[in-house]
Structure 1
């Protein structure tokens, strides 16, 4: 499903100016066990206008659901939900914490 959504967005098959103008990465898709619901985590490249892009994707959910179901050969289309991927922001926050002099001092003691 992640590959299909990525392909649809890369080929600009969504007829929305906001979505077509942005390069959007689908970083992860989480499905419920019954395959009825899917949460797609997206991140616009360069991180610009994230809220507007997620909002535009939510407005085009029906089209994307129909295309995903058609390309996967599913009888029922999973209900798609789009959310911004915050894992990159969290990774940056952890990286900054690890570079803190107090933490670096503690990590240096373990290596000796």
Structure 2
């Protein structure tokens, strides 16, 4: 990824957090955190990684709400960031957070099991 794409990604991450939390009034959209934005080198696409507080249904509802608001979100990004063409936005769940939590749980379990064997 080139430097320009990285800069645009960082700027988009900041703006998206603001837009999603303040501008979108869709009740389906829960508590969303934009964890990362990966912009392609040609600045045509932006993969937006999100984490959502809640169960699977809340996560799915949030994704549906964001998909419906995609046009609005993209036009807001276009107004805030001066680019010739605003990247196409793709929302994805950031699995790394769940993965990290799972690893932490497993490590705690191993540690607990180790202590019970020592006694």
The aligned length equals 101
Query: What SS does the corresponding residue of 1:26 show, helix, strand or coil?
Result: strand
Question: Which one of 24, 27, 47 corresponds to residue 14 of structure 1?
Answer: 24
Q: What is the match of residue 94 of structure 1?
A: 103
Per-residue deviation at 1:95? 1.3
Inter-partner Cα distance in structure 1 for 2:16 and 2:73: 8
Backbone CA RMSD of aligned residues: 2.0
Q: CA deviation at 1:4?
A: 0.3
- Paired position in structure 2 for 1:30: 38
Aligned partner of 1:51 in structure 2 is: 60
TM-score, L = length of structure 1:
0.78
TM-score by length of 2: 0.74
Consecutive unaligned residues of structure 2, counting only runs of 5 or more, are 1-11, 115-119
- Superposed, 1:75-94 pairs within 5 Å as 75-94=84-103
- 1:57-87 alpha-carbon deviations (Å, 9 max, x no partner): 0121111111111100112110000011211
